[in-house]
Structure 1
């Protein structure tokens, strides 16, 4: 699957999941240029939105009452919650 097709599928997934209540199945750790990190439990829909935001070079993303400046993110690590 090429990149364009992959991101098309993600955009379709986001549209399909819009407005649905999903369980938090992923643990996300965000590492910043300052050396700080944040840990959130997120849905698969958030993962898809984050992928699209980084592809489109968005500057900000909102998660769990936190505004994330994507310009300061060094690494995002996802783990499945048991």
Structure 2
């Protein structure tokens, strides 16, 4: 019989508000993290803010799932989100 390992996944939303100030939230639910990512875009989005959604599996390195803005020109990314 093979042992089944349950992977622990932690989802983090991070809003880099200024060079020195950021806020983060962590959830074990991907659905909740996705909802918070979208909410934070609505609340905090402006030209100098970067918002990311990452996942860590079993405490490993973070993997970026989503980033706002997702294009070099903030205006183009913002247009797609509206």
Does the alignment reach a TM-score above 0.5?
A: no
Higher RCO (C-alpha under 8 Å, 6+ residues apart): 1
Under a length normalisation based on structure 2, what TM-score does the superposition of the two structures give?
A: 0.36
Higher Cα radius of gyration: 2
Higher helix fraction (1 or 2): 1
